[in-house]
Each structure stands twice: as C-alpha cells, then as structure tokens.
Structure 1
C-alpha cells in the first residue's frame, strides 16, 4: 500500500467512526513531524547549542533556574546573575558562537572580540539588519534610526541626521557651552541638596537625566527646558516608564502573541497610553516647527529635516522616505538612545567613585593639578587628564550600558566561521563578553583604571574596547556621549565628593537589565570639596 493510500485509509476510517480524536492526534503528529523535518534541513550546520524543546525553544529554560534561585534567596542578588551572565556562561559548553531558540526563532550569540569584530566589521552586508520584533515593530513601525531595517532608506536617514547634528555642534567644541549650561544647573541643585541632606543621600538620576536630555533638546528641538518644567519632566517620566514597562514580564509576551498589545487592561493599556502621550508631545513640537520654519535660519534638526522634505517635494521625488512620520520616529530614537545610555553611564561612574574613594581621590587630584578649582573643565583638558579618562573607560568596560547591543539579523544565508547562519536569524553581539574576555583583559572582573595607561602613565586605547558597538550599526551619538560623559564626570568630581550613606549596605553592582544596563537605584552623600565656595562651583 502506498503512503498516500495509507494516509487516505486512516482519514476515511476516522471520518466514518464516531470518534474524531484519532484523526486530530494523527494530523497533529503528522504536522509536527513534517515541520521538524523541514526545520532540520533549514538548520543543518548551525552553531551548536542546547537542545530546544518543541514550540517553546530553549532560551527560557536557560534563564528560569537562575531566576528561581534568586527568588528563593539561594543566590545573592549582588553576584551579577542575570541574563547577560547566563548567556556568556554558555561559551564554556558551546564555544564563542552558539545557537538558541526563542520559540521557533533561531538566535545566534556572538562572544569575544574576534568573533564580534569578524561578523560586524568584516561581514556588514550580511549582519547589519534588524529583526522584526513584534513589540518594537508595533511601537516604531520599523522606522527611525535604531530599529529600522538595514538598507538604502536607513542609510539615507542616518547619513542625513549625522551630518545635520555635526552642523549643530556634534563632536565639536561649539557644543560645549550647551553641555556646561546643564552642568551649572546640576551643581547649583547639588549644592542646595548637600546643605539640606540629612545623611540619607541624594538620588542623582533625575538631575543627570534632565541635563543630558536638554543637550538632545538643543540639537533636535532647538530649545532647552527648565529642570522644573512640568511638561518636560512629564516627557522624561513617560520615556522612563515606557522603557520600564517594555521589560515587564507580561509585556514581553507581546513578542509571542502580538494581539496582547491591544488588551484594554493592566500594563498593556498603560503602555499604549504612554505611547499616545509621547506622540502628542513630539508631534506638537513638529507642527510648531512647520508653522514657524524660516529656511534661511534653521534652528535645529527638525528644521533641517523639514527643509529636506520641501526640497525633495519640489524636485518631484514622490517616493521620498523623508516624511514627517519618519521624522517623528527619528526624534524618538534620538531622545531615548541619547538620554538613557549617557545618563546611565554617568550614574555608573559616580557609583564606582563612591565605592572606590581611593580612585575618586586620584581623579580629583589630577583635575586639581591640571584644571584647578576655579575653572570648569573643558574638552581641551581631555588629553591632560589620562587617569580620569582611564577611569571613565574602565567603568564603561565593566558595566557595558548596552551589553547585548541592539539585536542584529542575518539579511541573507551566510557561511560564517564554518557554520551556516540562515537568513532571518537574530544575532546577539555579546559586548559584555568582549569586555570580560580573559584573552584580551588581565583579571577582567577587577576594577582597575590603570589597565588603560602605559608605563609612562599615558592613555592608550585597546581595539577590543567597544562600548558603543562596532560596524555599520555603531552608535551614531558616540561623539556626543563621549563629550557629555567627560564634561559631566570631571565637572561633578571637581566640585563635590561622593560617599555612600553610613549604616546602609552598598548598592548592588548587578544592575537592572532592560534595553540598557542601568545601575540599581542608589543615593550618595554629596559634599562641596574643601576650598570651594558656592560661587566657585558655578
């Protein structure tokens, strides 16, 4: 009997019987066998990895045991056991390139500098795309800069935005006064808080976030906001809440069941409301720019983008990707990426300074010697402050604010280091593993700024130090972030000393892993340094 006749016989037998269950069971088994035979062909020669379970994959199985142990108190919360450590630990079993399955989605994790560099720098056309993650795609419509798919449209948008931001001071000394203005406000507020502080400490995050966001506002919106401006504070709060909700346990299931996003209850409803409120704020600003646009005197990136739109319309380019809709998502990208990462980097540095007062003293002594106490640090001082720079870099190395980068995707099937990476595979470049690679860093888990100094005390940069990523998707705001980080850290360390509140356990260095790795909430006691008056600090 042929296989087809045999199948027809079973179906007809099941249909003529009163019990349909055998047919359903058979159909399900037949489907699963057929499906996994096809999958085996597609995934032949992929990198090794733990064996996946049908339907659910194996990613969750790696994370659940450590999560349960922490919840039960069998693992201390300050040991750094989180998703990044779990992913990095798999290299002990499968090597620096291994596979995981999130449901039926193949994910390849790249570990170590040589592998990450090879994929993103030597094969950029194959590994520079972005995956279509349901929750991200619903919110961003796959537009903007950060999450947009790789291709001609993305290239034009990124090139235009980068050139425009440079025209308005990105990476140049002309932007320094804008950054210093925000620092003046921070120092004035810290001086007030230091006098009123009862010993419980100060939460630095709102002040730092406000100053960093205002730099983005100056470049993109052409205006600054007072740190007590209700609308501005509401926007920052909405963005922070949106990022927090996005990593909420129920919300991540949107990636498996996209229709959950539209549930009219709980965090799903709140997420949609946050998105609506941010949309209203940003689109009102775009509309105001359109109504007040003066092509002879562009004020910011929005004006330049609107002018580009008008120019392309005048040239009859009907299929132009330059639209107000696309502009909206670019602004959102710049705000979130430009605020969250830099704010967290500054907060990590100041936390490490409070935890290592000896290093804090050395940094402050160097600043005093080069800059003094009565002149604010400038970008021109950077080359004369090697230990300060080395300290900032060492904190960046240890904390890696975007530890898994933004996920990449294989835009075509590729042969890579002896393995086959199928088209559509999600790629995780594990930057955390790069900065903890024992073949590249001596005693990599130890905080040691001197590793970035040569025998003469001069700064040197290692190729494997890549906190902003590598390849064509490298962070567009890298130069701005470096400027803000250097000026903020040096100015705040010049003006104040930072120590942990007495009688409280030191904050965990595990961090909170979401879209970025943020420090756990902490407070520090801030005191004006000896020899400084209130006027000196400004």
Structure 2
C-alpha cells in the first residue's frame, strides 16, 4: 500500500510539474507576438516550406508574428513602420549572431567594434566616390569576355548560370584583390569550382548545422551535402595567400581593393592581431556577392523569357538611346529607365533574400507592445512587404512600369528593400545594380532570349539555399540583325 501511495505521490508531482510548465509556456506565449505553436524541440521547422509559408502566416497573424524554429525564436515584421522603428532605428536590435563556420565577425553576420570597422572599410571599396566608375571599368572587362563566351552558344540550348559564374567571380576577385585572373588560370579554375560548392548550401538544413557545429562527427557520416565549413576553410586559405602576397609586394597599398583598404587602415591594425577579420569579410563578399548575383540574373532572364514584350521594349529603348555603334555603359542608365525598372522589378518579385538576415535583441525588449526576450531574432519579411496589394497593384504580376512615374522617370517605393535596411543592409547593392545593368543591356543589344524551340516555358520552381534560387533551366540566345557588328567583333576575341 505504501508503494502505491508513493507511486501516486510521484505521479502527482510529475503531473503538477507538467501542468506548471504548460501554464508557464502558455503565459509566456501570450506575451510574445502571435504566431503558430509548432511542435516540441523542432518548433515550426517541419511546417516551413519557404517564404510562401511566411506569406500564409502574415495573412493569418498580421504585421507582426513570432515563430520558433528549433531552439530559436524569430519575430517577423511585415510593415515598413515597424521595420523602420525596430530594425533601422533601435540600438537594442542591431546585432547579429555569429556567421555559420565564420572565423571572424566579417560584414554579413557578427556584431561589435570589429564588425563596425569591417563594414566601414568594405563600404569604402563598395560605396566610395569612385566606386561606380571602378565597378563599371572592371565589369566591362568581364562583360566583354561574357559576350565572347555567349557567342559560342549562339542559337544553341545553354545553361546561362555556368557561363555567368566565371564572369561574376572574376569581378569579385578584382574588388577583393585589385586584379582579375585569366579564365584559364589553374588557380582561378580551382576557385570557381570551390565556390560552386556553395550553390547547394541550405543554411536551415540539418546537414549544414551538423557540418558547422559538429564537424568531426559530420566527417564520419557518409553524405553528399556540401560542407560549408570545408568551403569556408578553402576560401580562407586562398584569400590568406592573396593577403600574404600583397604584403610581400613592393608596391604601396594604393588601390581601392578590399585587401589594400584593410592593410592601409591603422585602426584595423590596432584592434586586430591576425588577418581573420579581413579574410572573413572577403569570404562574405564572395558568398553573398556570387550566389545573390547569380540568383538575381537567373530570375531576370527567366522573367524575360516569360515576358517577351518586356524584352522587346528594353531592346527598343537600347536601340533608340544607344544605337548599335557602341556598347551601353553605366552612365547610360538615365537614358534607359525602363531597363533599370526591369532590374528593380526582378528584385521585387524574385525576392532573392525573402527576409533580412536576423537582427538579435541584445536585451529583453518590447516590440509593438509585445515582449521579445534577449537573444531572439527579429527580421523584416521582404517577401511579404514586396507583395502587399495595398502598395503594389497586382503584386504577383511582373510589371516594370510600377517603378516608373508618368514622365518615365524612376520611382522607388518606400517598401522596396531587396537588400535590407540600414545599418545592416547588404553593402553590395550598387555593385549588383551595375553588374545586372551591364549584362542585361549588352546581352539584349546583341541577342533575343527564349526557351528552347518546341519546349514549354521553364517554370519558376524555387528552392532555398543561401538565397532563393531557381531550379536549373535552359535558354537559347538568337542574334539580332541590328547587332551583327557586335556579334562578329566578339566572335574574334579570345578570352584572356
């Protein structure tokens, strides 16, 4: 009988503890922004299928909601007043967690004094007085080689991504080290292959979490998933070698390349005893710049295939403003507003980064009347902001004219934030715009783009990786009669 009472007592205690935990969880959940409950341990991870799920939660819960993803609590903001108040202006929600597999604070993730200095130095390279002219000069070289490559595939089925990749990598190399490679240089070929491995990295996957958090265990498990820690180590080795070579050179650090800017900074030398922060910043530039640029251009050309009227209008704008006697340059952007608007509409609808990278609350804070615990992530849902019908008429339709005023000048809606919001917005904004403008105008001046003959239009089938990516698709470039001069010129050029 004593045993029965003892067991009953223990059972009662356990039930009381369980009931208390449930009550505590319920009370704590009521203090948070509303949102789906999820399941124990995993939260809402099993139910999240991409940004479309966030759109469903927005429709259900409104301008602010919270979601538990595994052990992390994330608060989503879905209106610009909330984004500006809590992500742009709040000093308590400015930090970010350490980057996956990172060796330093870098420029994308991280926080504190070292991150601030890294960002300042990177902005000198990316946003300095002569930055746009430098981008244009560097990317013109890559666009010239790109057209020579494309001529080889003229009127043949091709995968544009693999042709664009070396062009973008070399542009980033010039930004980081101050000089480009020959496309046939063995070191460059190896670098492109290393970076290609990042295409299938899914930051939310279990395999990525294991490879970063438990690399020794991950090495023992048979797998085909990309190893982010291994890719990062490979890039660190390459960039570290570039830094060492630059230090050993007799030239002054006089260029605006990322490495020279860091090496020239006395403040950087004072607070850093190693090159880790410089190297991590360059890794971030590669990882963010390459994958995001590829994704943006993949979406851009697929939208053109689906919207031949948009393509024809861009070609007409180029013909009228530039003609066929020279190639477009970045200074021509004011003459080609519809072309620029097409790039902007691609960034709006494609939503390459469906949300900002998470900001982290540095203390318990109140957000729009709700309690948000210290350590919680707070993000802007770019996917939802770019699709709100109150701001964008017929938001699922690809329509560049939404970025044009009645007099055909460009307009930028306040909720257009494809690169996030200051002070944590992506510093590569201007670089991508120059890149996309040059590639788009140079290609459409010479070619028309379509799906392979006899095939259906490629679908907009997406997957989440480091950014939002399209499934691979094929296209065909058909030379335009008005561009025969440029086609013949590019055909005779060697890639160097």
How far apart are residue 168 of structure 1 and its match?
Answer: 8.7
Task: Map residues 198-347 of structure 1 onto 2, 5 A cutoff.
Answer: 201-247=157-203, 249-254=205-210, 258=214, 262-267=218-223, 271=227, 272-292=229-249, 294-295=251-252, 297-298=254-255, 300-308=257-265, 317=270, 320-321=271-272, 323-347=274-298
Match for residue 380 of structure 2?
Answer: 429
Alpha-carbon spacing, 1:268–1:147, altered in 2? closer, same or farther (3 Å) = farther
Task: Map residues 44-123 of structure 1 onto 2, 5 A cutoff.
Answer: 44-60=30-46, 62-63=47-48, 82-123=49-90
SS at match of 1:266: coil
Query: Where in structure 1 are there 5+ consecutive unaligned residues?
Result: 1-8, 15-20, 64-81
The yes-or-no answer on 1:467 pairing with 2:418 is yes
The yes-or-no answer on 1:181 pairing with 2:132 is no
Listed one character per residue, the Cα deviations across residues 456-512 of structure 1 (whole Å, up to 9, x for unaligned) are 333222111111111211111111111111111111111111111022232221322
Q: Is the 8 A contact 2:462 2:470 kept in 1?
A: yes
361, 367, 371: which is aligned to 1:420? Answer: 371
Q: Is the 8 A contact 2:142 2:170 kept in 1?
A: yes
Match for residue 131 of structure 1?
Answer: 97
SS at match of 1:497: strand
Q: Is the 8 A contact 1:120 1:470 kept in 2?
A: yes
Listed one character per residue, the Cα deviations across residues 86-125 of structure 1 (whole Å, up to 9, x for unaligned) are 11111222112111112342221222333333322232x1
TM-score for both structures, normalised by structure 2: 0.89
Q: Is the 8 A contact 2:118 2:278 kept in 1?
A: no
Distance (whole Å) between structure 2 residues aligned to residue 384 and residue 240 of structure 1: 36
Q: Is the 8 A contact 2:58 2:78 kept in 1?
A: yes
The yes-or-no answer on 1:193 pairing with 2:171 is no
Q: Is the 8 A contact 1:507 1:520 kept in 2?
A: no
Distance (whole Å) between structure 1 residues aligned to residue 225 and residue 416 of structure 2: 41
Query: Where in structure 2 are there 5+ consecutive unaligned residues?
Result: none
Q: Is the 8 A contact 1:374 1:536 kept in 2?
A: no
The yes-or-no answer on 1:514 pairing with 2:465 is yes
Listed one character per residue, the Cα deviations across residues 186-219 of structure 1 (whole Å, up to 9, x for unaligned) are 1111112216x2xxx1111122222122122112
Distance (whole Å) between structure 1 residues aligned to residue 183 and residue 294 of structure 2: 15
Distance (whole Å) between structure 2 residues aligned to residue 455 and residue 425 of structure 1: 44
How far apart are residue 441 of structure 1 and its match?
Answer: 0.5
Distance (whole Å) between structure 1 residues aligned to residue 401 and residue 293 of structure 2: 23
How far apart are residue 529 of structure 1 and its match?
Answer: 1.1
SS at match of 1:90: helix
The yes-or-no answer on 1:157 pairing with 2:157 is no
Give the CA RMSD over aligned residues. Answer: 3.0
Count of paired positions: 486
Distance (whole Å) between structure 2 residues aligned to residue 373 and residue 457 of structure 1: 23
Q: Is the 8 A contact 2:360 2:375 kept in 1?
A: yes
TM-score for both structures, normalised by structure 1: 0.82
The yes-or-no answer on 1:455 pairing with 2:406 is yes
Greater C-alpha radius of gyration: 1
Distance (whole Å) between structure 2 residues aligned to residue 514 and residue 259 of structure 1: 20
The yes-or-no answer on 1:143 pairing with 2:105 is yes
How far apart are residue 329 of structure 1 and its match?
Answer: 0.6
Match for residue 477 of structure 2?
Answer: 526
Q: Is the 8 A contact 2:114 2:277 kept in 1?
A: no
